[in-house]
Every structure is written in C-alpha cells, then in structure tokens.
Amino acid sequence: MLKTRIIPSLLLRGSSIVKSVQFQGPRMIGDAMTAVKVFSQRKADELLILDIDAYKNGIQFELIERLASFAFMPLTIGGGISSLEDAKKIFQSGADKISINQAFHINPELIEELVAIFGSQAISISLDFRKTDRGYASYFNNGSTESRNTLKQLIETAAKLEVGELLINSIDQDGLMKGFDNALIAEVADQTKLPIIACGGCGSISHFSDAIDAGADAVSAGSIFHWVGESLLTIRRNLKDLGYNLR
C-alpha cells in the first residue's frame, strides 16, 4: 500500500504566490522563491507549483528553473503546457512531474505522447470541478471554460492514457478552508484505480484525514500553511497518531 503524501501547493502569478477563493480574486501572499525555500527546509514530501496565468501568458521557463534549483524535494510544475517542447523544457528546468489541465481536455493525443516519452509516473492530470444541478462539471483555463466531457468520461480517458495520477480540485471549496469536497473525491475514487490527489478547501488537520478516508492517496493544500500557519511537522505527527500511513 502506498504511503499517503502531504503536498503543499503554490499558485504562481508572475513571480509571486497568490491565493484565490473559488478561483476568483487571487491575493498576493508572498514571493515564490521564498516559499519554495521554506517548504524545502520543512522537508515537504513533494511540492506542487501551478502558474494560473500561463495558459494565456505563456510559461515562465526561467523562473521555473530558478525555483527548481531551490526545491530539494520532488517538484511538480503545471500551467500552460500545450506541447511536447513545453514539457521537455520544464523537465530540463528541474521538474520531476508535470501537471496538465487544458491540454488534457483539448488535445488528449499530446498526453498519450508525453506518457510514451516520459513515463506515466511523470504525468499528472489536473481536473477542476464545480458542482451543478447536472452533477460535477469540469472546467479548465483557471476555471473559465467548461469541458464538454462528464466526470466519468474524463476519468475513463485518463485511465486509457495511462497517466500517473489525478489532481482533483474543487472550485467550490477553493480557498474557503471549510474542508475538501469529499463527495467529489469519493465519486472519483469509485471510478478509478489511479492515485488521487485531493485539492481545494483544506483548513484544519481533520480535513486531511477526511479526504484520505474519502479515497485520496495524497492531499494538497495551500491556505492551511499560508493563513493558518500550520506546520508540516504537526500535520504529519497528528495524522500518524491517528493511524494514517504517511510517507
């Protein structure tokens, strides 16, 4: 059985780290380089950096390379990846994995190519969901464009493409610190054997355990570190005391 991972997530805008609420009104909370150094010192299991404007402004390759040079843990980079060349440059910059959102929806053939070249373990698919009266609808381009595919269709496609993992983000819960959308996590977990990273809404240590119980293999969070000031050490210790098998 794989050990559960606790993954700090950083939203990048320019050279700053920002936090949004339901994907709206991102507020600057600090410098990206400083944040990477802090999580490196705290020995995070992994670090996830998502550039929320890269899909329209392009990928900041030089900045990614600088950030990667201070990331002494596995590093996942996402935002704006739309070609094989983009992926190559990000890996060459020091990333261990790439997280892909838009291209998965509009160009699944690219995902197939990336898996064939870099391996399943290096490809993470990021899916952003909002709850509607029709069930969960998926969005891309930082939540601005609705996918034509259902949750079930997206999960099936990801499995067929043999990607390494799914980053499941709740737009509704993003930034509220009221807990993950555990019903969403459970619904995805019921339909796939792919590892699931829960994201969006964490505000307390109990939220981590709730997401794991719902089916998450890893939990990604930002606000609990930035606004609450909770430490990775405390989170790990509390979850281990509750019997969870952490990395």
Question: For the purposes of burial, counting CB atoms within 10 Å of the CB of 66, is it exposed (0-12), middle (13-18) or buried (19 or more)?
Answer: middle
Pick from 137, 118, 120: nearest CA to 128: 137
CA 5 to CA 24: how far, in whole Å?
A: 27
How many alpha carbons lie under 13 Å from residue 48 in its C-beta half-sphere? 28
Angle between the 232-241 and 205-214 helix axes, to the nearest 10 degrees?
A: 50
How many alpha carbons lie under 13 Å from residue 146 in its C-beta half-sphere? 8
User: Cα torsion for 243, 182, 79, 25, to the nearest 10°?
Assistant: -120
128 carries an active-site annotation = yes
**In the block, which residue shows the tokens 């699931």?**
196
**Residue 52 phi, psi (nearest 5):** -75, -15
- Chain centre distance of CA 173: 14
Pick from 57, 42, 54: nearest CA to 98: 54
Selected catalytic residue, list 128, 174, 210, 217: 128
Pick from 93, 99, 102: nearest CA to 55: 102
User: Which residues participate in catalysis according to the annotation?
Assistant: 128
